[in-house]
Structures are given as structure tokens and as C-alpha cells.
């Protein structure tokens, strides 16, 4: 099939936006922020990835819930330009999914979803204590994208990673073991995935 994206992202016979399935699997950023009063917010974002390794930068896209309805994560980081990316393992899938609910502004998803917070060193938002890795970030730049066919605003948040937490249990032979990290990945529709085969290929010299 073929379609032009400006005409809409769910042409018949598709029932879901195919873009999410085509661009995947995607890592999941479990992003924590705080508002000016210090109330924490926790939400997952699968439009997330690394931008640079040294210095380390990441990006995630807190796209609006609807026309004129910004997500709390986005509103918080505009007021307090700091965030934490806690990486999601398979064992945390249910809690992560619970935190994706559109709770009222000011609700602490850590408390509501039974997620234990842990303090950070270089930013004010807490991290997820049980996550095997977490990235403390300062907002570097926010890019606003054109409004799509669903009239929702889209933003890209670029953050500089100022500190990294790695659980000792995932370090093996001097490297982070992806198998031990057991990262959860986002696919299309309501689907998720985990690691399958892992293999190494040396780069040509």
C-alpha cells in the first residue's frame, strides 16, 4: 500500500498508526520530572533514544495528549528543566504501563502506581529505585514540531546526561550486559518486546 502522511496516519484497512510498528523496536524512557512545588511526575515515552555518546545526550518526545493539552512531563520540564530517564526492564512492564494513564495534574505517579523513588545527585526529580539503570538529565533544548493531522502538538526534548546510575548486577566482564538489563521495547499498537538473539559483528578496519 501507499499513502501520503499529510492525509492522515490511519488509512484503510489499517486500524492503528503503522509508523509505530515500522520504526521499532524502540527503547522506553520512564521519565520523571517535578513541578515548581516539587511534586513528582512519572510517565513512559517510547519516542526516545540516544543522540550523542560523549558528551552524552538523549532525546524524548512528550507529544500532547490532544489539541491544546500538553502532557504534565512537558509542562514540568519547562518550569524545572531537569528530568531522569529510568530504563524499563521486563519485570517493570505492569508498573510502567500503569504510569501511562492520564492522571490529573499534580498526581504523583510514583505513589499512585506503587513505584519507589530514589534521590538523584545532579537533578531534582527522583529516579525509579528498582530500575537497573537511570540517566540524570538537564534540558539542553526543546524543539516544537509542526502540528500533525490529529492536531496534537509534538515536541522533542534534548537533554544532557549529567550522571548515570548502573546497578552492579548488570555489569559483566567490564561491560553492561544487555541480557541482564533485560530491556523492554515498544512495538506497534499495544505490543511490547524483549531481547531475542544477541550477536556481535566486528566493524571493518
* pTM listed for this prediction: 0.93
Domain ranges of the chain: 19-193
pLDDT for the residue numbered 66: 62
The Cα–Cα gap between 122 and 125 comes to 9
Q: Select the more confidently predicted residue: 14 or 153.
A: 14
Helix (H, G, I), strand (E, B) or coil at 5: helix
Rounded distance between C-alpha atoms, residue 88 and residue 132, angstroms? 8
Sign of CA dihedral 144, 73, 162, 53: negative
Q: What is the pLDDT of residue 131?
A: 98
Indicate if the pLDDT at residue 28 is higher than 80.
yes
- CATH for the 19-193 domain, from 2.30.110.10, 2.40.30.10, 3.40.50.300, 2.40.100.10: 2.30.110.10
Percent above pLDDT 90 for the chain: 81
> For residue range 121-160, what is the model confidence (pLDDT) as tens digits?
999 999 999 999 999 999 999 999 888 777 777 899 999 9
Question: Would you state the pLDDT for residue 57?
Answer: 98
Question: Mean pLDDT for the chain?
Answer: 93
Question: What is the structure's pLDDT at 69?
Answer: 64
In whole angstroms, give the CA distance from residue 117 to residue 66. Answer: 29
- For residues 112-127, average pLDDT: 97
Provide the pLDDT for residue 106.
Answer: 85
pLDDT in tens, 151-187: 777 899 999 999 999 999 999 999 999 999 999 999 9
Amino acid at each position: 500500500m501507499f499513502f501520503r502522511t499529510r492525509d492522515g496516519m490511519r488509512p484503510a484497512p489499517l486500524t492503528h498508526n503503522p509508523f509505530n510498528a515500522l520504526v521499532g523496536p524502540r527503547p522506553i524512557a520512564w521519565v520523571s520530572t517535578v513541578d515548581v512545588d516539587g511534586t513528582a511526575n512519572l510517565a513512559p515515552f517510547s519516542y526516545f533514544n540516544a543522540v550523542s555518546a560523549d558528551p552524552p545526550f538523549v532525546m524524548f518526545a512528550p507529544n500532547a495528549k490532544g489539541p491544546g493539552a500538553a502532557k504534565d512531563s512537558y509542562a514540568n520540564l519547562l518550569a524545572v528543566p531537569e528530568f531522569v530517564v529510568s530504563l524499563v526492564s521486563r519485570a517493570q512492564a505492569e508498573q510502567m504501563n500503569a504510569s501511562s494513564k492520564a492522571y490529573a495534574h499534580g498526581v504523583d505517579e510514583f505513589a499512585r502506581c506503587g513505584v519507589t523513588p530514589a534521590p538523584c545527585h545532579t537533578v531534582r526529580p527522583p529516579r525509579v529505585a528498582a530500575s537497573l539503570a537511570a540517566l540524570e538529565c538537564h534540558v539542553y533544548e526543546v524543539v516544537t514540531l509542526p502540528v500533525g493531522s490529529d492536531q496534537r502538538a509534538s515536541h522533542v526534548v534534548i537533554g544532557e546526561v549529567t550522571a548515570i546510575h548502573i546497578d552492579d548486577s548488570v555489569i559483566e566482564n567490564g561491560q553492561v550486559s544487555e541480557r541482564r538489563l533485560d530491556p523492554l521495547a515498544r512495538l506497534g499498537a499495544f505490543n511490547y518486546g524483549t531481547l531475542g538473539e544477541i550477536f556481535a559483528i566486528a566493524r571493518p578496519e
